[in-house]
Each structure stands twice: as structure tokens, then as C-alpha cells.
Structure 1
Amino acid sequence: MLRVLFTLLFCCSLTSVCHAQTINWLTNDFAPYYILNGKYQGQGRDETIIKLLEDQLPHIKFNRVVVPASKLIQTLSDKTNDACVLSLYKNENRKQQMVFTQESSTVGLSPSVALHKKLANALSLKNDAEVSLYDLLQEKKLTLGVSLSRSYGEAIDSIINSTPDVDIVIRPTRDSLASLTYMLNLKRIDILLGYPSEHFYLAKSMNFQDNLTQRPLTEAPALSYGFIGCTKTEQGIKNIALLNKHLKVIKQTDAYINALSKWLPEHLKPLLKTRMN
């Protein structure tokens, strides 16, 4: 009897059988988008935006299911489930497996480099100035830290993989960005590649924010967009239509803008607003 009950509860977590009006949201332990533990628990960017949608749809139950990041796309593509993910890159391959909103669900600044404030001053890199990753590596001969098997867009990936005689430190662990941030603070690497909100969250949570800063890259696009993706089923198509409609509503609110900029350093918040206008 207990085994049957457990199986039923597990199935209910990923299907709409147990509740006629349910949207299942796949989440994962990836700060600052989802913060599942610690001082800032529940204050992640993506989970905040899901809550804004939930407030718009009080007649629908929002069910959160935590899955490993490595299983996210696989779970979403499985048509025996009906689930959605808030902030996904939309490409042709994924369109074959799932359905997406036309409206973006998240907008963020593209990849940046984190570095010591003293190094930024020594290189005369102003707070609001973009820098060239190629120049930092090839001309300044700085040591770059990157996470293994992570893409940052065609232009930046090409610089990392094709520029001769560059000094790169790669970390393959699950918490690679945190490990590299620790190395950056100790000056074992000079610059660290990631996304602005990730850099800021890690520096703040590790109490390095007084030592580290970051700069946007000239080789990166102005903004990175994420979309809601849902399982490609009849219910998923209905969910996408509904969520697309309500994204248009919440994107006009201050709460939405605040969620996007919450985990940005103060000197980059105006840049996000300027690029979004």
C-alpha cells in the first residue's frame, strides 16, 4: 500500500492527473536563478518571476519539481510528463522537442569577466566600459578561468578555443564557478568568465564583493534572452499560450524589472535598463 501511494504521489508531481489546473515547473539548484538554501533562499531571479506569474493565475496550481540540471532538458522533452521551465535558450533543435513562448521570460546581460578591483584600476578599466576578451588574453596576457563544457556564444567560444598562446584554467567540478571565484580572490587567476548575476551572487555570498568587480565584453551580444519552454503535448501548448499572455502583463511591472536586476552589481544595473529600452 505504501509503495502504491508513493508511486501515485511521484506521478502527481510531474503530471496534471491529480489536479485539473496545474502547471509543473522544473527547477534546479542553480543560484542566483534558483536559491534553494542559505541566507538568500527563495530570492532567486527565476523563482521570483515564477511567483509573479503565479500571482497572475490564482486559479491554477503551480507545482515546483527540483531536478538535476543535467536532467532538465531530458525531463522537459519526455512527452509522458507535462512540465515547463522558465528561462531557456530557444534554438531549432529544441523547437523540435518542446514548445516555447514568443515573449521572453527573462532578459539579462551577456557574459562578462570578473576581476580584482586593483587589476581593473591598474588596467584603467572604467566601471561602465566594455572590454575585449581577446585583448585581455592576447595583449594583456591575463590568465582566464572558465567552467568546463559551458558555452558563452559563438564569438566568445571561438576566442577561448582558437586564440593561440593563451593561459586558461578550466575547472570541471559541479561548483566550478565558485571554485574559480575563490581562485580569483586569491589572484591565482586574473579574470573569470561567467554571467554578471552569477559573478555578483558568488562574490556577495563568499564575502568577496569588496575585492572583486566585473566588466561587460565587447564580443558578447548586448542582452541574453530566455523563454518559457514546455513539454510538446496538447496541455503544454495550452500552458504556453496562457503563460505567454501573462508574461506580457508582468513585464510591464516594476517587480519584474527588479527581479531581473536584483543580482547585478550597482554599476551594471543602469546598463541593463539602457539596453532593454
Structure 2
Amino acid sequence: MLAETDTTENDLTVEQPLGMFALLLQHSDAQFEFTQQQVSYTRAWSDLNKLGNACMYNKFKSAEREKIAYFSQKPISIYPPLRLIVTKENADKFPQQIDLSTYSALNAHIGIVKGRSYGDIINRYINSNPDVFYYRSGMNSTQKLIEMLLKNRVAGVIEYSAEAYRILSDKEVQLAIQAIPIAGVTQPDYGYIACSKTPQGKQLIERIDFVMNQNAFKQDFIAAHNEFFDHDEKVLLKPELEKVFVD
């Protein structure tokens, strides 16, 4: 399993979003096993098919990506929309909902991870206005961007609010940030497992699909998401979870 967890010390079975990979292994009945290999966001997709029997988790699915990888039928995570994470002391400088197409770098750069996909809408903003963004690459990139935010070295960071709060494990520090909705980005994000476009990768994804279609996995998947998010996010995710995992 290629891990883009931002640090060489993280264990995928406990650190990746919501613990869903650990849940998948628990329900697999030893149909497959993975070893972890750390990669950067910029190298992950090229390494996927070089290795031939590798997978990645929590990846956006697109027609372009489906040309180079097999994707799981169901998402391995369902997240509320990405937000612009800012410090509370600077929150009044931003509207209640930010339109990235009109944001100016004169207001300071917005931090993003180089090589990461942020979904079609945000990706278009990034490609159209690259000078607005500060690009961070390498291990610890997300954590480093949050640290830069707290030091006012970037105006904001595009990230899931739950992930930003997780990085800031100190509860007092968590109170220092605020999540601002991004115009046009209103729907929850689906993250899938992607495996090498090889016979071995196809076999892996078929086994993963089999496990994820079991009722016991579906029930635990929904329970984990309900436990992880706050009330407002649960309300947003409920119809998505039912659509994907309730027969």
C-alpha cells in the first residue's frame, strides 16, 4: 500500500482517514495483506504501476485516472467538502463563503500540497490562478502548511476541517482555526482505493470490492463515519452514506 500520510512514522492501519483501511483488513478474512511504502504525492501515481501490485487509498476517481488504475466500486471514505482553513484572528478578513476565482495573492497565498488532487472545481481554480497558491511538497506537507498558517505565513490552507483538527491534537490550538466554505464546493467528497492497472491489481481490487460489499463491513463503515464527524457534518453525510451503503 502506497502511503501519502505526510510522515514516515504513520501506520496506515491507524492513521489514515477514519481508520477505514484498518476496518477493511478486519473484514478481509485474510484474503489479502499489505505492506506499507511511503511515497510523496508527486511520486505516488507513477510508482503505482511501476510496482505492479500496489494500491493507494482515499483517491478521487476520474475518467483520466481510471485509465491508469483500477478503482474500488464503493468509496473507502466519504468526507464533507474541503474548506479553506484560516486562523480565527484573521477570519473576519474573509467572507462567509470564499470564491477562489476572485481571490488575490495580494491577500497572501493559500497553502496547498503539490501533486495532490483537490477535486475538479478546486483543481480548476488552482490551474487558472497558480500564483494565488503556495505549494508545499515532500513529507509532512499538510502538517507544515498548518504550522505556517498558525505563524501567518500563509493566509489559509485548503483541507478537510476534520483533518486540520486532527493535526492540531492540542485542543487549545484547535480553537485557533476556523473552516470557511468554498464557493461551488458543496458536495461531500468520495475517496476510493486505487490499484495498479495490472492483472495483480485487478485481482486485488476484486477482493477489496467483495469485502466492501459485505453487510458487516457496510454497517461498521457507517458507524465509523457517524462517530468521527460532528452533528452538522453528520447531517450532510447521512444521505450520501445511505445512497452508497444502504441496500
Above 0.5 in TM-score? yes
Q: Aligned pair 1:183/2:148, yes or no?
A: yes
Task: Sort the Cα spacing of 1:237 and 1:134 in 2 relative to 1 into closer, same or farther, 3 A.
Answer: closer
Count of equivalent residues: 239
Aligned to 1:84: 55
1:28 equivalent to 2:27? Answer no
Mapped contact 1:144–1:193 kept (Cα < 8 A): no
The match for 1:224 is 189
Q: Give the alignment of 1:64-103 within 5 angstroms.
A: 64-69=35-40, 70-78=42-50, 81-103=52-74
**Structure possessing the higher radius of gyration over alpha carbons:** 1
Q: TM-score, normalised by structure 2?
A: 0.74
- Distance in 1 separating the partners of 2:197 and 2:101: 44
Letter in 1 for 2:118: Y
The 1-side partners of 2:30 and 2:170 are apart by 36
Structure of greater relative contact order (alpha carbons < 8 Å, 6+ residues apart): 2
Change (3 A) 1:185 1:269: farther
Q: CA deviation at 1:60?
A: 2.4
Q: CA RMSD in A?
A: 3.7
Percent of aligned pairs sharing the same letter: 19
- Cα deviations by residue, 1:198-256 (Å, 9 ceiling, x for unpaired): 32222226962021121232222512212222233334333322321221235532x32
Q: Measure the CA separation in 2 of the matches of 1:142 and 1:266.
A: 32
> Which residue is 1:192 aligned to?
157
Q: Structure 2 stretches of 5 or more lacking a match?
A: 243-247
Q: Distance in 1 between matches of 2:99 and 2:180?
A: 10
Where does residue 245 of structure 2 map in the other structure? Answer: none
Q: Does 101-110 or 263-272 show the bigger shift?
A: 263-272
Q: 5+ residue gaps in structure 1? A: 1-25, 126-130
Secondary structure of the 2:173 match is coil
Offset at residue 275 of structure 1 (A): 5.1
Q: Aligned in 2, Cα 1:206/1:68: closer, same or farther, shift over 3 Å?
A: farther
The aligned amino acid for 2:103 is L
Give deviations 1:42-86, integer Å, cap 9, x for gaps: 5324582222222222242412222313443233213x6323333
Structure 2 vs 1, CA of residues 262 and 134 (structure 1 numbering), >3 Å: closer, same or farther?
same
- 2:34 is aligned to 63
Contact persistence 2:111–2:156 (CA under 8 A): no
Provide the TM-score with structure 1 as the length reference: 0.67
